[in-house]
Homo-oligomer: A and B are copies of this chain.
Amino acid sequence: MSVNLLQGAQEAGTMNSIKLLQGFKEASTFEKYALVVVIVVALLGLIYAAFLARQILREPEGNDKMKHIAKAIRTGGNAYLKRQFRTIILLIVVLAVFIFFTGYFGGETTKSEYGNPKWLIGLGRGGGFLMGALFSATVGYIGMNMAMQGNVRVAEASRSSFTKALKIAYRSGTITGMLTDGLGLLGGTIIFLIFFRDAPLVLIGFGFGATLIALFMRVGGGIYTKSADVGADLVGKVEKGIPEDDPRNAAVIADQVGDNVGDCAGMAADIFESYEVTIVAALILGVLLSEATGHLYWIIFPLLVRAAGVLSSIISTYSVRALREGENAMNAIHRGYLLAAAISIISFGLFAHFYCKDLRFFYATSVGVALAIAIQFLTDYYTSTERGPVKETAKSTKTGAATTILSGLGIGYESTVMAILAIAVSIALSAAIWRHGGMGVDTILYTFYGVALCGIGQLTLTGNNIAMDSFGPIVDNANGIGEMCKLEPEARQTLADLDAVGNTTKAVTKGIAIASAVLAAVALFAAFYEDYGLTAINLIKWQVFVCFLIGGAIPFMFSALTIRAVGRGAYFIVNEVRYQFAHVKGVWEGTVDPDYGKVVSICTAAAQKELITPALLAIISPIVIGFLFGLEALAGFLAGVILVGQLLAVFMATAGGAWDNAKKTIEDGLYGGKGSEAHKASVVGDTVGDPLKDTAGPALNPLIKVINLVAVLAASMMVVGVNHVPREKTAGIWALIVVGILAIMVSVWFSKRAESFGREEGEEAEKAKEA
């Protein structure tokens, strides 16, 4: 591990000359124009986002009380993000250096195609990592802030017009969507233009930056939002029997903030990285194919598809509006989605036919669009209040909480089977379309390029998806503001209607994000295989099998950590809210505002503290496995992570959604409505589902990809010799392995030390109060 860096750099410098922007020499005239068009479209997407933002900010914010509450939410949200970024900045810098070295020490494996020096590849990769992290954080930050500007304006608009409220809510969400689209396309394309055939070496850093931030935002935001939500509910709804958004509850603002940091910032960063990683995977495989075949379209086609997606999102999102007052908002949103899908599919066909002259490109991307639609259908079936499963869960509340939980477990287990079958069929179709390969190239390369195209196709309509998703927390917050400010009944009804639609759109996007994670991970998995010239990932080797078993355990460990983190966070909040009710005069009577800020800072601190262990697990485990057992075993590990991660993620999302909506149907009056025994059972189901569907489940999504990307990045350091197993483990490598294992163990131990759902502090606090 000890290498004279300077000397290496000098050697590299003397031996190689720097060659950048090689692309334009190789590309045809059409391709040059195409690349320019792609950049222009990406910029158009950003301009459209800015245009929408101006439009939204011009809308009125309502009365002083509304402004006051909105400001409290904004302050909380931004305080959290600031703290979050401060917590991780050091790690990001350390990792950037590490990533520079992964590029630098790539040895055989990170060979530049143009003889660019190693330090340049290292710098590009490290810089790409920082850019990815910055873009992902920006999407999260701006997206969340636009949502927090939008929500109060939606509440105000609801007092005059349903149409207008819908438009503001949807367009506020669209800003995040278009930022994702624009920055995602811009980042990937720029790196590609600069480094051209060397781009995969750099893009992997870019993807990792985006993914890592997404992991932090998802885990931190998820712990924040559900600690606040569960904590607020346990004291408010369960103990005191007051409504959900009652302003006397000190956790109520933290709950609103949580919706933004979890569902807006977390989800936006998450989908941004899915969007990024699918293109990274496609470009890595595309570069290999273009080298082998001499055609550039393997690389350009995915970029064109993305550009078409951005354009269709611009057109279709702007077209979303209610045709008449009181039309179901879902219909308007669906119309926009279908319009976008139609535009995209037609352009896929045109590109494939006229540019690639190979309709397999069209088929593979269309399979992706079909998968997105299938996932929407499945999510809708398992979580819609109109369908069998939720109705069954709702009925099961009549025999109590236990049967409610069991019913949700059954539905969740079944739904994850269906989702993985849909994904398996998509992968099989994509691979089958490309199974004949061609031009003497390894068929594996073709089949997994097909899978990457499927992933690209599936995320074509990201602009629309994120718009739909952000719509959820915006109208949720608007509804909360409406309740706290006691708006007029008609406005409240409008907001409640929009909120119900928001729940559906959120669930749908979650399903699509998870499916895209698997496709991206599978394509990365193949990229890993190709990059390091593995000859097989042979499960019958004991090292591979053992690591495969360990890989499968990771998502369970991760889920255990995040679920318990929410428990611990909620417990702190319960204690604080109880304390304020009991000891701060006037809070319970409603004459004095509770100290919202206190709860906000408890949530913020808890989320920061709790995200360390899961993040360490994700980053360190593939490194330890790779150095201990070699690359082939590491690939087995990745396969285990992908399989179990996907199964758990969909199970959690669906079971949580089913419990949530079962509760909603009962609150709408079924089986005795609010206050009945059935309602109590349904609240138990919903509370169990909360950390599953909003913390553990969605965080598995970036987890899968962080682990994959760490593997791809670190693999270059693990390769010693041709048989892809470190032949001799030096003292340095053993030290790394031991330190890695210790770091995970110590961190898990610390995180376990504090029990989750029942520490003595609670009892002491209670006793103190009683005394």
- Using A549-B427, A757-B399 as known contacts, say yes or no to A416 and B556 having CB atoms under 8 A apart: yes
Chain B residue with Cβ nearest A542: B431
- Please give, as numbers and ranges, the residues of chain B lying within 8 Å of A651 by CB-CB distance: 556
Say whether B448 contacts A401, CB under 8 Å: no
Chain B residue with Cβ nearest A423: B549
Say whether B431 contacts A546, CB under 8 Å: yes
Contact bitstring A390-432, B, C-beta under 8 A = 1, else 0: 0011111111111111110111011011001101100110010
Interface residue A557 (Cβ < 8 Å from any Cβ of B)? yes
User: In whole Å, how far is A764's beta carbon from the nearest beta carbon of chain B?
Assistant: 13
- Please give, as numbers and ranges, the residues of chain B lying within 8 Å of A545 by CB-CB distance: 427, 522, 639
Interface residue A563 (Cβ < 8 Å from any Cβ of B)? yes
Chain B residue with Cβ nearest A680: B401
- Using A431-B546, A552-B647 as known contacts, say yes or no to A758 and B540 having CB atoms under 8 A apart: no
Say whether A417 contacts B234, CB under 8 Å: no
* Contact residues of A between 406 and 462, Cβ < 8 Å to B: 406-407, 409-411, 413-414, 416-417, 420-421, 423-424, 427-428, 431, 435, 444, 447-448, 451
Say whether A759 contacts B688, CB under 8 Å: no
Say whether B553 contacts A755, CB under 8 Å: no
Say whether A428 contacts B546, CB under 8 Å: yes
Say whether B556 contacts A394, CB under 8 Å: no
- Please give, as numbers and ranges, the residues of chain B lying within 8 Å of A687 by CB-CB distance: 400, 402-403, 406
Interface residue A529 (Cβ < 8 Å from any Cβ of B)? yes
- Please give, as numbers and ranges, the residues of chain B lying within 8 Å of A466 by CB-CB distance: none
Interface residue A500 (Cβ < 8 Å from any Cβ of B)? no
* Contact residues of A between 687 and 729, Cβ < 8 Å to B: 687-688, 691-692
User: In whole Å, how far is A256's beta carbon from the nearest beta carbon of chain B?
Assistant: 21
Report the separation of the CA atoms of residues A552 and B417 in the bound assembly, to the nearest whole angstrom. 9
User: In whole Å, how far is A56's beta carbon from the nearest beta carbon of chain B?
Assistant: 37
Interface locus among A103-111, A121-129, A531-539: A531-539
Report the separation of the CA atoms of residues A691 and B413 in the bound assembly, to the nearest whole angstrom. 14
Interface residue A363 (Cβ < 8 Å from any Cβ of B)? no
Q: How many monomers of this chain does the complex have?
A: 2
- Please give, as numbers and ranges, the residues of chain B lying within 8 Å of A683 by CB-CB distance: 402
Interface residue A480 (Cβ < 8 Å from any Cβ of B)? no
Say whether B549 contacts A635, CB under 8 Å: no
Chain B residue with Cβ nearest A753: B388
Interface residues of A, dominant DSSP: helix
Say whether B548 contacts A406, CB under 8 Å: no
Say whether A410 contacts B537, CB under 8 Å: no
Interface residue A587 (Cβ < 8 Å from any Cβ of B)? no
- A755's partner among B392, B560, B574 (CB-CB below 8 A) is B392
Say whether B405 contacts A684, CB under 8 Å: yes
Report the separation of the CA atoms of residues A526 and B544 in the bound assembly, to the nearest whole angstrom. 13
Report the separation of the CA atoms of residues A435 and B526 in the bound assembly, to the nearest whole angstrom. 28
* Contact residues of A between 508 and 555, Cβ < 8 Å to B: 522, 525-526, 529, 534, 536-543, 545-546, 548-550, 552-553
Say whether B756 contacts A392, CB under 8 Å: yes
Say whether A644 contacts B552, CB under 8 Å: yes
Interface residue A559 (Cβ < 8 Å from any Cβ of B)? yes
Report the separation of the CA atoms of residues A563 and B407 in the bound assembly, to the nearest whole angstrom. 8
- Please give, as numbers and ranges, the residues of chain B lying within 8 Å of A647 by CB-CB distance: 552-553, 556, 644
- Using A536-B538, A567-B406, A758-B396 as known contacts, say yes or no to A552 and B684 having CB atoms under 8 A apart: no
* Contact residues of A between 464 and 522, Cβ < 8 Å to B: 522
Report the separation of the CA atoms of residues A421 and B421 in the bound assembly, to the nearest whole angstrom. 28
The contact sample of 21 A-B pairs, CB cut-off 8 A, is A234-B400, A396-B567, A396-B758, A402-B683, A403-B567, A405-B684, A405-B688, A407-B756, A407-B757, A410-B567, A413-B556, A413-B559, A417-B560, A420-B553, A428-B546, A431-B542, A451-B542, A526-B540, A536-B540, A548-B643, A643-B644
Query: Using a CB–CB distance below 8 Å, which chain A residues touch chain B?
Result: 230, 234, 238, 388, 392-407, 409-411, 413-414, 416-417, 420-421, 423-424, 427-428, 431, 435, 444, 447-448, 451, 522, 525-526, 529, 534, 536-543, 545-546, 548-550, 552-553, 556-557, 559-560, 563-564, 566-567, 570-571, 574, 635-636, 639-640, 643-644, 646-647, 651, 683-684, 687-688, 691-692, 755-759, 762
Give the top 10 A-B pairs by smallest Cβ distance, nearest first. Answer: A395-B758, A396-B757, A402-B687, A431-B542, A413-B560, A537-B539, A414-B560, A403-B757, A536-B538, A392-B755
